[in-house]
Amino acid sequence: MKRAQLVIGCVLVGLVVVAALLSLVWTPFDPLEVVPGDRLQPPGWPHLMGTDGFGIDVLARLLVGAQVTLVVGVISVGLAALIGVPLGLWAGQVGGWADELVMRTADVFYAVPALLLAMLFASVFGASTFTAMAAIGLASIPAFARVSRAGTRQVMATDFVLAAKASGTSSWGIARRHIAPNIAPLIGVQASVGFALAILAEAALSYLGLGTQRPTPTWGNMLHDAQQYIFISPLQAVWPGLAIAVAVLGFNLLGDGLRDYLDPRLRELA
């Protein structure tokens, strides 16, 4: 049953990755070329998912949209992990004022969610893929810091760390040899769940016009454009939403499945 989560998660994430890779080499139609004669076609042949208000094939745009989703996810989660994990490790290992400093800073970032950060960035620089990634990445730092801090504290309380300390291993050595391998699974789970959140955030930002700008297709801006046609072409507003849901569900299941797989004690609780 719980293995099923992991398997379904992998399949859904795999679908998104395949769509993104496929779109690099092939799309059924040009995802950018406006064809006025083909506006708002219903799903059928040759446009499997129909066309949008510019006469562009929806399937083609959907496939290309997967690229933006994955790139923004990878970069923002990577940024958050690169900054958050060392901070959490440091806070957990040193404790005291360092702990206090990192955790209070995390509180501050927690209170300024990605959407508000993105608005601040967009009002200074103008909205772009870059400002969206920066906002999502910054807003995701606290989660990584908290998870790695909690894990570090657990490891620091074990006897093997006590033994390592007694035998004169340096703090750096303890971090490298004992803490890092033990908290790596936690970070992996957080990365997967964080990826799901990043996809949701990116979609919301590009829906609101605060992320990737047209003509580059994203699932969020496709939904925004489709909204004005819900009276005549409602299916257009279904496909991109389904794509987002599949991607988010995939990463969430992957994260949950991974956690259960790695820590059987949590099976009951999570």
Partner 1 sequence: MRLGIRIAKRLGVFAVTVVGASLLVFLITAALPGDVAEAILGTSATPETVAALRAQLGLDRPLPVQYLDWVGGLLTGNLGVSHLSGDPVLTLLGARVAVTAWLVGFAMLGSLLIALPSGLVAAVKRRSWQGVVVGAGAQVGMAIPVFWAGILASMVFAVWLHWLPANGYVALTKSPLGWAAHLVLPVLTLSVVQGAALTRYVRSAFVEVLNEDYYRTARAVGWTPARALWRHGLRNASISLVTVLGLQASSVLVGAIVVESVFNLPGLGSMLLTAVAQRDLLVVRGTVMFLVVVVLAISALVDFSYLLIDPRQQTERSTQ
Binding site for partner 1 (CB under 8 A): 103-105, 107-117, 119-127, 196, 200, 203-204, 207-210, 220, 223, 226-227, 230-231, 234, 237-238, 240-241, 244-246, 248-249, 252-253, 268-270
Least separation in angstroms between residue 77's CB and partner 1 is: 17
Contacts of residue 74, Cβ cutoff 8 Å, sequence gap at least 6: 195
d(CA 270, CA 109): 26
Contact criterion met (CB below 8 Å) for 213 and 68: no
C-beta of 17 vs 238, nearer to partner 1? 238
C-beta of 30 vs 100, nearer to partner 1? 100
Name the H helices within 95-179: 96-111, 114-125, 129-156, 159-166, 171-174
Contact criterion met (CB below 8 Å) for 254 and 192: yes
Contact criterion met (CB below 8 Å) for 129 and 76: no
C-beta of 29 vs 88, nearer to partner 1? 88
Nearest to 136 by CA among 220, 206, 197, 208: 197
Contact criterion met (CB below 8 Å) for 133 and 76: yes
Give φ, ψ of 161 to 5 degrees: -75, -40
Least separation in angstroms between residue 267's CB and partner 1 is: 11
Least separation in angstroms between residue 231's CB and partner 1 is: 6
Residue 194 token pair = 């964080």
C-beta of 31 vs 92, nearer to partner 1? 92
Q: End-to-end CA distance of the chain, in Å?
A: 14
Least separation in angstroms between residue 93's CB and partner 1 is: 15
C-beta of 1 vs 25, nearer to partner 1? 1
Least separation in angstroms between residue 152's CB and partner 1 is: 13
C-beta of 98 vs 103, nearer to partner 1? 103
Least separation in angstroms between residue 175's CB and partner 1 is: 20
